[in-house]
A and B are shown apart, each in its own frame.
Chain A
Amino acid sequence: MAANTSFISDIYNMMSDQKIILTYLGDITPDITNALLKAIKNDNTKFDEEVATKKKVYKIIVECLENICRHSEKVEKKLSQSIFLLGRDENSYYIITGNYILGTQVESIKSVLEQVNSMNKDQIKEKYREILSEGKISDKGGAGLGIIDIAMKSENKIEYEFVPVQNDISFYIFKVQVSKI
């Protein structure tokens, strides 16, 4: 008798149909970040685009994963499971992340996202220089520079959602697209 593994076919079909290149569910630690980046860097089968596009996607993924590492430090262990997804459609690559954050972080993250989405490329660059020269960045980044860097490189608006999970915890969904060059 066949084992009850038909869901594997469902997952396989769904991932193929949606052209998902890589997805990961679990703790996103610096070690996992490195493993994922390595896999992406070395994947030349599904990722046969122009070098320029690949570079852009890679850089954005680094910032996305580092953002998750940074945020999840503050959330209790049992809620440290995050999701990362890299996929593509006809004209672009997309990166989606989902992770738990503290309710108290929502407003500050939201205000940075609203701000970058309201700015054009030159304004984003100006903001980047401003944060850099003010030197308000901690050793692990922060101060919104990562998000601004992502916006500067992707040249697309960032999509996001905060889903309240319990009292002081929200699930933060982040999506960014990179148009194929």
Chain B
Amino acid sequence: MSALILEATEFTPKVILDPGSNKYEISGESRPENSGKFYEPLIAWMEQNLTSVKSGITFEFKFEYFNSSSAKYVLDILKQLNTCNSNGCPVKIKWSYDSLDEDMKESGEEFSKLIEVPFEFLSIE
């Protein structure tokens, strides 16, 4: 199973979706000019590759910032993870935020209300 790894740009986050090393992470700033163009391939990859993972997934979100049109796709990613969890693969979601950024914590709390898998919140100094 091949990994999907994208380096961060000024407008898009760093993405690591790597079943081989069991590392799943999105980090940085997300304000693509067209959010669908950036996120749809990620979600398609998850659909294709994560359904067969049974040993457990820990997915880390480390956003510095995401715009409102990225938010819709963050929810889609979370929904994919929720499906994995319902299908018997234990999923852990970690939501990291800058300790000075209460808004980022709040965004995570709002997302966590929309899916069943509980979030672990990590404040980064």
User: What residues of chain A have their CB less than 8 Å away from a CB belonging to chain B?
Assistant: 30, 34, 50-52, 55-56, 58-59, 62-63, 66, 125, 128-129, 132-133, 135, 137-142, 145-146, 148-149, 152-153
Contacts and interface: CB of A to CB of B under 8 A. Distances in A.
Interface in B31-79: 31, 33-37, 65, 67-69, 71-72, 75
A140 B103 contact: no
Given A132-B72, A137-B72, 4 more contacts: A139-B34, A140-B34, A141-B67, A145-B69
B69 A153 contact: no
Interface of B: 10-11, 31, 33-37, 65, 67-69, 71-72, 75, 98, 100-103, 106, 110, 113-114
A152 to B, nearest CB: 8
Contact of B35 (A51, A56, A140): A140
A135 B101 CA distance: 26
B114 A133 contact: yes
Nearest to B31: A62
Contacts of B31: 62, 66
B108 to A, nearest CB: 12
Nearest to A121: B106
A135 B100 contact: no
Contacts of B72: 132, 135, 137, 145
B81 to A, nearest CB: 16
B113 A139 contact: no
Given A56-B103, A139-B34, A139-B37, A129 B69 contact: no
